[in-house]
Amino acid sequence: MIAVLAAAPYGAVGCSAEDRGNAMKRMLSVLVVGALASGLMTARASAAGVATNPLASTMTAAQDVVSYWFADGGANLRNATPYGVQTAVTGEVLPGPGAPGDTKPGMIAPQPGGAGGRTPTASGKVFFVTSDGQPHWCTGTAVQSQYRNLVATAGHCVYDITRDSTLAKWVFVPGYSDGVIPSGLYVGKQAFSDYEFGVYHDFDDDYAFATVYNGVIATAEGEPADAGRLGDRVNALGLAWSQPLGDRVDVFGYPAGAHPDGKRPYSGERLESSRGETVSAAVPGLPAEALVAVKSSFTGEGALGSSWILHYQDGIGHLNGITISVADTDGDQRYDTSASPYFDGELAQVHKAAGSSWSGRVV
């Protein structure tokens, strides 16, 4: 079983614009990402504020990862369950401090690489093995980079912050659905994060970028073959940071868990979407100062790591948030809000370091 982290008395996340006037009086139930553990993740600083950790740093290690996920016709992919490192708590909602002013607003253009359409080909699932020895998954997204080899997701979907390590056998499968690998399986090579996420469990920095090797597909004979670079097979989102609040974003992910009332509207097998405007949110007692929230009916399991896309159109746009938790802000036992770190200049620096890192091929 996945370990449920210690439920210390933390506040809940989520605040809409209409709730600000009476936010202090509201009590809510929330799924909070599992950064409540006492374990610390160690990482070496490769640049000011940027930490790096290996995923599968050698060709041999990467090939072993491919073998694990392709074994028995992809049984481990099909048997994987949504990552559930989170804990339910209650607490007061407070208005957030607003958007930090650390840097000027900035954007990096998307990289078209796959066919357009109503859903982003950039979206998919990240699969990994946790300390329980079982396969699990979160949502992930291909993003722009120099070598077309970068994936973004929640920080705790790359790092096992309870065990001082990265998650094992980490891969990204864009467009994954019920055992189908439409554009290849991409083995993670190196993870990049904000240094304070690992050292201080700062929810403001609960995001990570991972470089991936060229994709791998199985031939008709069952042998692995090179599928090319990630950004050549699917669209890669651009990036937007230090943006004003109140912008509309489209949220894409694979929600799979149940609402507090026990209802399960999502299977986790299909990419789902929602839309809302970003607002500031703060949580007393939670180690974060600049979270943002958006109205969304996504349940937490499976949706963690979902992309928030600014200026979304025809399968492409700018990544401007990543879901790290969900909340029920009106007490009706249905999750209605998702929360993300605010994308600021520090995140842009982490992306810059990750985006200039070459990975190569597995096959």
Domain locations in the chain?
17-330+341-355
Instruction: Tell me how far apart the alpha carbons of residues 283 and 275 are, in angstroms, rounded to a whole number.
Output: 23
Banded model confidence at residue 263, pLDDT cuts 50, 70, 90: very high
Q: State the number of CA atoms in the 13 A half-sphere of 198 facing the CB.
A: 23
Nearest to 28, CA basis, from 90, 101, 88, 103: 90
Report H helices in the chain.
59-79, 195-200, 230-233, 345-355
pTM for the model: 0.85
SS3 state at 304: coil
**Tell me: the pLDDT tens digits for 143-183?**
999 999 999 999 999 998 777 789 999 999 999 887 789 99
SS3 state at 71: helix
Enumerate residues 6+ apart whose C-beta is below 8 A from 38.
6
**Tell me: the pLDDT tens digits for 293-352?**
999 999 988 999 999 999 999 889 999 999 998 888 888 899 888 989 999 999 999 999
The DSSP secondary structure of 258-272, one letter per residue, reads --TTS-----SSS-E
Instruction: Tell me how far apart the alpha carbons of residues 171 and 79 are, in angstroms, rounded to a whole number.
Output: 15
